[in-house]
Amino acid sequence: MEHLLGKEWQVTPAGGVTGEAYYAQYGEEKLFLKRNSSPFLAVLSAEGIVPKLLWTKRLENGDVVSAQRWVSGRELKSFEMKQEIVAQLLGKIHRSKELLEMFKRIGNLPLTPHSIVKDIAEKISDSYSDIPVIHDALDYLDTNIKDVESNEYVVCHADINHNNWILGEEGDLYLIDWDGAIVADPALDLGLLLYLYIPTKDWGEWLRNYGVTLNDDLSRRMHWYVISQMVYVILWHQQRNEVTEMKDSILYLEKLLHADVDATY
């Protein structure tokens, strides 16, 4: 990265799983650099969803480096996810026609309930998983697949962990790390966020701030998607032999499978 900016710039790794992100500083000027970032970063920047994109440069090896404005701020705390500004930003993202059109143009197909069930079945077969609750969950997902069919597909972030929400010093909120974004039912993002961070009694108010009304249909869809994502989490921990994390996830999945969905609001 130093040869791209010049020797006067101090470049340090920004951490993360991919190791493709960096911080760069020269005097008072600061940049956030990333190699091969999301192809729709420009749209996200234009809509104020991520910090401003300053430039992109293609390297000789074909990699593309993007530079964004360095935002002085912090990650949201878990308890802050209930704030109105979070609901409003996610609503803005899900309603963005420009983002959806950009995603479609690069050839991304929607993630449907049928494709999820098929993928989970293949992963269970490939991993020879013998965890009973995994098979129970697959039966649930397959049995209830018709109840979660929806014609509404939006760009979902798919990793709404509080660490990906950045609050700037001037009060601007950003959602970063779009590498895993997909076109899917908005219930995927909503379910993960509400189940993880928002007390059940506050779901109705949070969703009103987001822009919808909580009803039976949305409740069932969110529940279905959370169960599907927990299966992926368990298989991920099993593959890495993370026993403690896997056991915790199994207990949570069992709780989800026995929950009364109609009693969630």
CA atoms within 13 A on the CB side of 171: 3
The reply to whether 262 belongs to the active site is no
Give me the percent of the chain exceeding a pLDDT of 90: 67
Per-residue pLDDT of 216-257, as tens digits, reads: 999 999 999 999 999 999 999 999 999 999 999 999 999 999
User: Is the confidence at residue 105, as pLDDT, over 70?
Assistant: yes
Catalytic residue among 142, 147, 159, 172: 159
Q: Structure pTM? A: 0.89
| Mean pLDDT in residue range 12-30 | 77
Tell me which DSSP letter residue 24 carries: E
d(CA 7, CA 22): 15
Count other Cβ atoms within 10 Å, centred on residue 147.
14
Rounded CA gap, 123 and 209, in Å? 37
Q: What counts of helices (H) and strands (E) characterise the chain?
A: 10, 10
Segments making up each domain of the chain, as ranges: 2-70, 75-263
- The model's pLDDT over 78-104, given as tens digits with 9 standing for 90+, comes to 999 999 999 999 999 999 999 999 888
Considering the domain 75-263 in this protein, what is its CATH number?
Answer: 3.90.1200.10
Q: What is the pLDDT of residue 243?
A: 94
According to the model, what pLDDT value does residue 40 have? 83
Yes or no: say if 63 and 72 are a contact pair by the CB < 8 Å rule: no
Which residue, among 154, 224, 158, has the nearest Cα to 183 in the 3D structure?
154
For domain 2-70, is the CATH number 3.90.1150.10? no
User: Contact, 130 vs 203, CB < 8 A?
Assistant: no
Dist CA 194 CA 48 (whole Å):
23
Is pLDDT at 19 greater than 90 in this prediction?
Answer: no
CB contact at 8 A, 113 and 61: no
pLDDT at res. 18: 52
8 vs 90 pLDDT, higher one? 90
At 174-222, the pLDDT tens digits run 999 898 999 999 999 999 999 999 999 999 999 999 999 999 999 999 9
Confidence class for position 136, pLDDT limits 50, 70, 90: very high
